[in-house]
A and B are shown apart, each in its own frame.
Chain A
Amino acid sequence: MTDISRDVDQQKYNQALEKFVSSVNGNTAFDGDFQGNIKPYQINQRMLALNVLRNNFPTVEKILGESVFTSLAQVYGKYYPSTWWDVNIFGDQFAEFLASQINSAKADAYNWALIAEIAQLEYAFIDRYYYPGHDSTPEVLIEFSHFDYEAQQLIKENHPNLVITYNCLDRFQSTANGEKFHSSHWSVDSSQKSKLKIFSASVFRQNFQVVSAFSCSTANL
């Protein structure tokens, strides 16, 4: 077989796949090129964005309600399709997408800035859980600046996978004993008691439980 005929065959192969995904995406009719039923693939695509976003942003869904969340998830899935093989981390722009709803017809229906902040934190947990390059240590720490205390409380009440504990006293005790904390563990801006400067999520393998420890100011204890 010559190189040219190989190229032609490869083109035909690619075109066959292209026709298939075009049908899945609803861009072209499912016609005589195929036999069978394209709907299961189309339904999978519609449900994919919703299911993954629902898994990754449970607090956001709780606040918005199923109907609004579903609509937003489907719009997000259409305009921000997944481009990486790891489905677990789908939704990296969901917080920005939610923040932009301030320009939508529902601008006044929700506090979009707060919801976007919650989405940012929920995604930080996903990112930390799956993202490459993190050390294989028993404890995982997340840095998170400018995090709203109200958002923190909403996650504490609604997120099904995080057990949130306040460990300020331990932190202060250690400081009093002269131990130096790494800045990624602990920082409080006393001038803004409602704001956390650093979010610390600790995951302890030996407890077989995901534990997230929010650092907080004394005013929040």
Chain B
Amino acid sequence: MSSIDSFAGKQCSLGVEYMGAGLGLRFPHIYEILSQKPKINWLEIHICNFINGGLNQQLLYELSEHYPLSFHGVSLNLGGPEPIDVAYLQRLKQLTNELQPKLVSEHACFTSFDGRSYHDLLPVPYTQKSVEHFCRRIEQVQETIGRPILIENLSRYVQYSENEFSEAEFLSQLCQRTGCGLLLDLTNAYVNDKNLGISIDAFIDALPHQFIKEIHLAGFSTHDEWLIDTHSAEIPQEIWNLLELYLDRYHNVSVLIERDNNIPSFQELYNECCHAQSILDKYPS
């Protein structure tokens, strides 16, 4: 089978439905959402915060009765050299089976090295070896949980001299070889453009768009003339503009609003979510 045939076959297996604009769930808003049940198309949760059990997981079960969910992970350590944490993976499988999230996603990064957890999305070199390394581990995850996952592009402040590919080429290979989908974070791509000079136009053009099933939007901050992907501010106009440019060319991609620091009132985030939906509504589905 040629790589193109394989690519097409993998595409069919993704089967991700369009959900419109969704909201990243954050702790301060859980009880408000559960008590008032506002109209939200879907909620994305940081699954690592819920996977262990305890009260937090009880709340997740309750949320799942009212909203479609997306599981977004930051701890699978797909790029790390140590074996994937099997206990974590088994719990992810269990929750995926029980709550049937619409999407499961992770990052193209490593988070742990030599027994230490960095709790940060650390970049990897884009080489043939790293492609193989990621593919093996993505396949392990997908086989365990029984469905394709989405892989998100990173905001990066560093590039390795070992790089053999661009990030877009790297991500494309992951899709082609494993059938995983892509989560395109437009803010990350924008930050990389401004900080590292990686053209956002070239990056987006080089991605396999049939594999992009979700878009992330967030705000950022500025430190010493560097844009830092802090998710700490409202989504700036240039990011909304990027979304419109993207949707001009590609349709039917679910969009998520993220805020992780300086978390505002629920209403403020809800308004951003509604704004994203109003943009999506301008384009044919």
**What are 26 pairs between A and B in contact, CB < 8 Å?**
A10-B129, A13-B125, A13-B127, A14-B81, A17-B110, A18-B113, A33-B162, A35-B161, A37-B195, A40-B157, A41-B120, A48-B120, A81-B117, A83-B115, A85-B77, A85-B111, A85-B112, A86-B52, A130-B53, A130-B56, A131-B54, A136-B57, A136-B61, A205-B58, A208-B35, A210-B55
Scan residues 80-112 of chain B and give those whose CB is less than 8 A from a CB of chain A. 80-81, 85, 88, 91, 110-112
Using known A-B contacts A13-B133, A130-B54, determine if residue A83 contacts B117 with beta carbons closer than 8 Å. Answer: yes
A134 at the interface (CB under 8 A from B): yes
Determine the main DSSP class of B at the interface with A.
mixed
Task: Give the size range of B's interface with the partner.
Answer: 35 or more
Which residue in chain B gives the minimum CB-CB distance to A87?
B119
Q: When the two chains form their complex, are residues B160 and A33 in contact, meaning their CB atoms are under 8 A apart?
A: yes
CB distance from B160 to the nearest CB of A (A): 6
Q: When the two chains form their complex, are residues A12 and B54 in contact, meaning their CB atoms are under 8 A apart?
A: no
Q: 11 more A-B contacts (CB under 8 A) besides A82-B119, A128-B54, A210-B55? A: A16-B125, A17-B122, A24-B122, A37-B158, A48-B119, A81-B116, A83-B116, A85-B111, A130-B54, A208-B34, A208-B35
Using known A-B contacts A129-B54, A129-B55, A136-B61, determine if residue A21 contacts B122 with beta carbons closer than 8 Å. Answer: yes
A45 at the interface (CB under 8 A from B): yes
Using known A-B contacts A36-B157, A87-B117, A87-B119, determine if residue A132 contacts B53 with beta carbons closer than 8 Å. Answer: yes
Q: When the two chains form their complex, are residues A38 and B58 in contact, meaning their CB atoms are under 8 A apart?
A: no
A194 at the interface (CB under 8 A from B): no
Q: How far is the CA of A209 from the CA of B88 in the complex (A)?
A: 28
Using known A-B contacts A21-B118, A208-B31, determine if residue A138 contacts B160 with beta carbons closer than 8 Å. Answer: no
Which residue in chain B gives the minimum CB-CB distance to A201?
B55
User: Which of A40, A82, A205 has the largest number of chain B CB atoms within 10 A?
Assistant: A40
Partner pick for B54 among A16, A87, A134, CB 8 A cutoff: A134
Chain A positions within 8 Å of B223 at CB level: 40
B72 at the interface (CB under 8 A from A): no
Q: When the two chains form their complex, are residues B61 and A85 in contact, meaning their CB atoms are under 8 A apart?
A: no
Task: Give the size range of A's interface with the partner.
Answer: 35 or more
Q: When the two chains form their complex, are residues A17 and B120 in contact, meaning their CB atoms are under 8 A apart?
A: no
A178 at the interface (CB under 8 A from B): no
A168 at the interface (CB under 8 A from B): no
Which residue in chain A gives the minimum CB-CB distance to B113?
A21
Q: How far is the CA of A44 from the CA of B157 in the complex (A)?
A: 12
Using known A-B contacts A86-B75, A138-B58, determine if residue A13 contacts B130 with beta carbons closer than 8 Å. Answer: yes
Chain A positions within 8 Å of B115 at CB level: 83
